[in-house]
Chain A
């Protein structure tokens, strides 16, 4: 379980008048389930890129349980992300030609981390996501099933935090609901911190805290209000 503390974050892109993301301070305690919402272009994906180390923060601190990944080199961030972050993306990013299980194991295999234990866990996770056939080719699956494979993949190495960027945006309502439930359930079972970026209120309403972005800034945070009250 990881906690996150952001301070003095500011990300600007050339050609943009205001920063794409500007956060003075944001704290997410270990084990929290947090929704990040906001209109399109409000900086949500930029937030994900920064906190997962996909993009380099030029200023500020990104403190995960005492480790400031802003100071890490690119390779170091890659390694940290591989071990500690379970990432789920809107377009699944699964690889056709491989089976469900092979897709779950691929990143671990490429990192040389696919021990017998990890492979066993892959089987187990696929079962827990409700998929019966681990050998089924990924391209023959429905979109809802695909996203469940992606969830199993994200959880494979017992990450301290699960971060999902619009996990239901390319799914129909029913599959979206199922994937949302699965995420919440597994994050609880695995005792992972969960950050879900979404503007799907059916999903965000199920999380205990909601942080809303607008034009790169946090405009509301139910967690902070609760604490203030």
Chain B
């Protein structure tokens, strides 16, 4: 046996033991993913930094919204799904109406960018009802700042705004209609 092979054996065993020390979760059957040190823990609990909400919002958009509204928010005339890109509903001064749309869904004829949509076979279900306040604020902030909506200075949708609207409509059941929403102010 060459000496370097023995050295490799000892070295790999040694690093293997260090690995076990760091990753074994103290041989506790309840620990599935141990942290290595306090920094590791902090990284997990990291508060969202600037730009992160757009990243997360994009992910939510990709799983929840893009099937109907399209990857780039163009909507589709054939299914009656209105565009989000350039939509005056999305780009309104405040998120008063769109939070409600996500929370309870929307049905009934609607005019977006001069085109007529909705009121047909496909309504928008309450896709946001199961999301957290943060997820709703993320996805709406993303929609207001993506594609050609980018750089138009649309203010981010804050978690507080989502909370406030949700609190107000907590007794409402069923879809909103566009007419109903138009009576509300864009912004509180």
- Our verdict on whether A and B bind, yes or no, reads no
Interface residues of A (CB under 8 A from B): none
